[in-house]
Chains A and B, each alone.
Chain A
């Protein structure tokens, strides 16, 4: 099971990296999303995907329990990822509205004023 998830993580990272290197703004944003999903899965897999009950002590049950820490980390990371993705999508929209292009080649800024 772990092997399948690890292959999936690899796929997500590969796809994410490919998308981040594209010229279209929205593809870059989707790339960062895929990479953060890969990271979340990795965090999850680090605690081993063993079967077990929820980590609340119960009478007459000695184990196994699942490790709650990776799940707690994941929840926090998901919330943070959600917020940053919302922010970057808004930013992307504003860039498109102001610059009237979504091509990163035209957003290089080499012809700028010297600051």
Chain B
């Protein structure tokens, strides 16, 4: 019996924080303090977990000390720990931005409590080793996201939240169907146990169908082609802080689940399933970026970018070599950080000027130079310019693609990268260059912008220390391509 009970602290901390926040009804300063302390501790704990598992050890914990395949298991490998750390960092940054930008009215209606609940769902999804428990954590984060999107009750917000909600309810129903079918075929819900039983199951054809159901479910949440249609409309209507956490964190949970499920549970027919993933990756990149180039709203442009960047991550998964998986994870981490930074700069722009319509902006670089340059560096990091982190993640992806002889996909990725640069320059040219379209107020905005600056600096640090980062994600990739390590750690050692 090995008891690493504390690995579920990233789930318990936000839950406790949320409960306290609900009790502190209208004491906003205390709510802010509680939230900051909770997420700070969460970041520290995630870093400690990462330091612990980076040597290759997998921590596992069975809730209530039930014997293993029967109880609910939580497990933490390098991939989980990396995702926990990055999501802790990103959510802390968004929280500090929310302190500046969320109005008192929204805050009084439990904005911070739902923010913490959202993070609890996200962390739970990263840690759980039980497929039904994954469904439950997904519902927690979705319900929190519905509330955060609708909070404030503006007309457009309500309207788009309904569409977002109906799509996600249908996807959740499909998720439950997938879980039920999986249980019918294998008789277990523990992911490690599932992985063993799926290999020996007689009905491989039905399992491929189940794999496709999960691809549709997580694909809808991750916004892959052709299931991304709900995203570009709904995300920009939320308040900028919510927009940042949805864009930076939420779709990436879907990507995490695709990575987990298609390396651990369904790697039995990569010639079929992963070929589909590679096609989807290419199509997602291209359609996303074409959508982005045509937009004239800063936030809708960035929302289309989410879609396009998801394509790169799925490309890593579709290539299905240790380097491919590692590069996909690297891109996932880079994208969470940089995308949040971009949405935060868009949010600050919205706060300062009252709009993110590119036609109404212009010449902001003269008035708000720090904002302009923060956006610039985040933008070229997303497009993939050295020495920022985006260059190295795309570099690794392209090397992995060339190694696996996926030349067409690599060509698509490079072309998409150029268009990404073009669309970033489009924002920069319309919003920050040229003459000011109207008078914009001179105000202090340092505190608002600080979280975005920190994230850009982190992107730079990852870029400068790319070697260490690559070693870490390579270790994660190797671990995920050998599911036996995970299975043994969960089934035998708890």
Contact = CB atoms under 8 A, between A and B. Distances in A.
A88 B153 CA distance: 14
Contacts, number: 103
Interface stretch (B180-188, B244-252, B318-326, B397-405): B180-188
A91 B155 contact: no
Main secondary structure of the interface of B (DSSP, over half): helix
A55 B98 CA distance: 50
A36 B139 CA distance: 13
A101 B359 CA distance: 31
Given A87-B146, A115-B299, A95 B158 contact: yes
- Among B160, B166, B181, B300, find the residue whose CB has the most chain A CB atoms closer than 10 A: B166
B136 A46 contact: no
Contacts of A35: 169-170, 173
Contacts of A25: 162
A15 to B, nearest CB: 14
A2 B248 CA distance: 44
Contacts of B466: none
A46 B182 CA distance: 9
A105 interface: no
A69 interface: yes
B162 A46 contact: no
B237 A87 contact: no
A73 B179 contact: yes
Interface residues of B, number: 42
B178 to A, nearest CB: 10
Nearest to A76: B136
Given A32-B166, A32-B169, A87-B146, A109 B160 contact: yes
B143 A83 contact: yes
Contact of A91 (B158, B179, B181, B356): B158
B132 interface: yes
Interface in B396-444: none
B143 A99 contact: no
A46 B183 contact: yes
Nearest to A44: B180
A97 to B, nearest CB: 9
B139 A84 contact: yes
B169 A36 contact: yes
A109 B296 CA distance: 16
B349 to A, nearest CB: 11
A80 B170 contact: no
A112 B295 CA distance: 13
B233 interface: yes
B357 interface: yes
Contacts of B184: 46-47
Contacts of A95: 158-159, 162
8 contacts: A42-B177, A42-B180, A43-B176, A77-B176, A83-B143, A107-B162, A114-B296, A115-B298
Given A76-B136, A88-B169, A98-B158, 12 more contacts: A20-B170, A35-B173, A43-B176, A43-B179, A46-B181, A47-B183, A70-B183, A73-B176, A87-B147, A88-B162, A112-B156, A115-B237
Top 7 A-B pairs ranked by shortest CB distance?
A: A115-B236, A114-B297, A46-B184, A115-B297, A43-B180, A114-B357, A46-B180
